[in-house]
C-alpha cells in the first residue's frame, strides 16, 4: 500500500467561520490526477487516510468512546478511535472544488501532512442506510456535537469573525495574556502601549528592565507589582527554555508545552491555554468564567467539575481545529460581555430559542 496524496491544511488559515468543518486540500500525486476525472460531478466524497501521528504507548482493546468515562467501555472496533492496529481513518466530506490534482473539501478533520490512501465517490443510494441502529452513546455524542456547532454558527452569523488575539506577534500576545488577568482589555492596551513606546516588547528587554520600572509602566492594568513579577518570570523562562526562539518553543508537542507553561510563575490554565491557542496556534480550547457561565445557562454543564471537564466538553465534541477554537472562544467572550451578562439580556440573544435559561419575553 502507498499514499496517493496528502492532506494540506493550515491551522486557523483555511477555516471558514460558520462552516461545519475545516476546509482543507487533498493534494493527489500528479501522476494520478487523471484518475480524478468525473469526481467533481459528486457533491461528497469519501477520503481514506492514514492517521500517521496516532501512536499510543500501548493498544487498548476496550475504550470509552471519545475518552469520555460517562460512555460505556466498549471494544475498540465499536469505536472510531484513532488508536487501532491499523490507524486508518475514513470520512465523508463535501467536495467544494477540484483543481487539477487538488481537491478542496469541507469537513476533513485530519492533520496537516496526513497521508491519503484512497478516494471514493459518496453514493447515497448505496452508502446510506435508512434503518441503521446505533448504541445510545452515539446519539448523545452527536446531539452535543450538533448543538456546539449550531451555537458557533449562530455566533459567527451574529458577530462575524473576531480576529483574536489582538497582538503584534506571539511575544506581545503572551504579555497580553498575563496582563489581562483580572483586567479589562482597554486597560491592558494602555499598559502594552507603554511597553511598546519603550521598545520593551522583547523578552531580553524585559529581563534587563528593573521590576519596579516595569510595574510603573503596566500600572493601568492593575495588580501591577504582581504582574511585573510574572512578566519577569516569563521572560526569564523564555531565555532558558528556548533562547527566546519562540518558533523553536512552539514546535514542542502540545501536552509537553502546556506542562512547561504551567510551571512558570503566574501562568495558570487559562493563560497557558490562551498562549497555546493564540501564540503557538495549537488546537486547545480556552475556558474562562464567561464560557462556563454560557455553557451552564445553556444547560450543557459537564458532569465532572473544574476547568478540565469544561475543556474536554469542547475538545471531545468538536474537531481539533485551531481556527475554529480561536473564533469560538472570542465569540463566547463577546456574547458574555454584550448579552449573556451577569444579568442577561436574553431578548437580544441569538441563542435565545435554544437556551433553557432565557428570561423575560424572548422573541
Closer of 58 and 356 to ligand SF4 (Cβ): 356
CA distance 89 to 45: 14
Stretch that binds ligand SF4, among 41-49, 170-178, 243-251, 337-345 (CB under 6 A): 337-345
CA distance 68 to 231: 37
Residue 357 lies near ligand SF4 (rule: CB under 6 A): yes
Stretch that binds ligand SF4, among 102-110, 160-168, 314-322, 351-359 (CB under 6 A): 351-359
Closer of 178 and 339 to ligand SF4 (Cβ): 339
- When binding is defined by CB under 6 A, the residue of 262, 346, 361, 363 that contacts ligand SF4 is 346
CA distance 272 to 219: 23
Residue 151 lies near ligand SF4 (rule: CB under 6 A): no
Return the SS3 of 343.
coil
CA distance 47 to 93: 7
CA distance 257 to 206: 22
CA distance 15 to 321: 8
Q: Where are the alpha helices (DSSP H) in 86-184?
A: 124-127, 136-159, 170-179
Closer of 64 and 147 to ligand SF4 (Cβ): 147
- When binding is defined by CB under 6 A, the residue of 7, 228, 279, 355 that contacts ligand SF4 is 355
Closer of 89 and 302 to ligand SF4 (Cβ): 302
Cis amide bond preceding 125, omega within 30: no
User: Least distance from C-beta 180 to ligand SF4, angstroms?
Assistant: 23
For 60, list phi and psi in degrees, rounded to 5: -100, 125
Residue 339 lies near ligand SF4 (rule: CB under 6 A): yes
State which of positions 238-297 bind ligand SF4 (CB under 6 A).
294, 297
- When binding is defined by CB under 6 A, the residue of 28, 344, 361, 363 that contacts ligand SF4 is 344
CB-based contacts of 233, cutoff 8 Å, min separation 6: 264, 265, 266
Closer of 212 and 345 to ligand SF4 (Cβ): 345
State which of positions 293-312 bind ligand SF4 (CB under 6 A).
294, 297-298
CB-based contacts of 25, cutoff 8 Å, min separation 6: 7, 8, 9, 14, 102, 103, 104, 105
CB 148 within 8 A of CB 298: no
User: Least distance from C-beta 353 to ligand SF4, angstroms?
Assistant: 8
Beta strand 88-99 pairing with 44-50? antiparallel
Stretch that binds ligand SF4, among 45-53, 120-128, 208-216, 346-354 (CB under 6 A): 346-354
How many residues line the site for ligand SF4 (CB under 6 A)? Answer: 13
User: Least distance from C-beta 68 to ligand SF4, angstroms?
Assistant: 24
Binding site for ligand SF4 (CB under 6 A): 294, 297-298, 339-340, 344, 346, 349, 351-352, 355, 357-358
Amino acid at each position: 500500500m502507498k499514499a496517493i496524496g496528502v492532506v494540506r491544511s493550515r491551522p486557523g488559515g483555511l477555516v471558514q467561520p460558520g462552516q461545519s468543518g475545516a476546509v482543507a486540500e487533498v493534494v493527489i500525486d500528479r501522476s494520478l490526477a487523471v484518475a480524478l476525472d468525473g469526481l467533481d460531478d459528486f457533491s461528497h466524497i469519501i477520503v481514506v487516510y492514514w492517521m500517521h501521528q496516532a501512536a499510543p504507548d500501548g493498544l487498548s482493546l476496550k475504550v470509552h468512546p471519545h475518552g469520555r468515562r460517562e460512555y460505556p467501555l466498549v471494544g475498540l472496533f465499536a469505536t472510531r478511535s484513532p488508536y487501532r492496529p491499523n490507524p486508518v481513518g475514513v470520512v465523508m466530506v463535501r467536495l467544494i472544488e477540484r483543481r487539477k490534482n487538488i481537491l478542496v473539501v469541507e469537513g476533513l478533520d485530519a492533520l496537516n501532512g496526513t497521508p491519503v490512501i484512497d478516494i471514493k465517490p459518496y453514493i447515497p443510494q448505496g452508502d446510506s442506510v435508512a434503518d441503521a441502529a446505533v448504541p445510545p452513546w452515539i446519539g448523545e455524542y452527536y446531539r452535543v456535537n450538533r448543538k456546539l456547532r449550531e451555537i458557533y454558527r449562530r455566533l459567527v452569523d451574529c458577530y462575524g469573525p473576531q480576529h483574536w488575539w489582538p497582538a503584534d506577534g506571539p511575544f506581545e500576545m503572551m504579555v497580553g495574556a498575563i496582563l489581562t488577568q483580572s483586567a479589562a482589555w482597554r486597560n491592558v492596551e494602555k499598559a502594552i502601549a507603554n511597553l511598546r513606546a519603550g521598545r520593551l516588547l522583547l523578552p531580553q528587554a524585559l529581563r534587563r528592565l528593573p521590576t519596579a520600572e516595569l510595574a510603573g509602566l503596566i500600572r493601568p492594568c492593575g495588580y501591577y507589582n504582581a504582574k511585573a513579577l510574572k512578566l519577569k518570570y516569563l521572560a526569564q523562562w523564555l531565555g532558558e527554555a528556548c533562547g527566546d526562539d519562540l518558533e523553536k518553543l512552539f514546535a514542542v508537542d502540545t501536552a509537553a508545552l502546556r506542562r512547561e507553561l504551567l510551571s512558570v510563575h503566574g501562568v495558570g490554565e487559562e493563560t497557558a491555554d490562551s498562549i497555546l491557542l493564540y501564540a503557538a496556534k495549537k488546537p486547545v480550547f480556552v475556558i474562562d468564567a464567561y464560557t462556563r457561565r454560557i455553557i451552564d445557562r445553556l444547560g450543557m454543564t459537564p458532569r465532572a467539575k473544574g476547568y478540565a471537564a469544561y475543556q474536554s466538553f469542547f475538545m471531545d465534541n468538536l474537531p481539533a481545529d485551531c481556527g475554529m477554537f480561536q473564533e469560538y472562544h472570542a465569540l463566547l467572550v463577546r456574547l458574555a460581555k454584550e448579552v449573556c451578562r451577569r444579568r442577561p439580556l436574553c431578548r437580544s440573544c441569538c441563542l435565545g430559542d435554544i437556551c433553557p435559561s432565557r428570561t423575560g419575553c424572548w422573541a
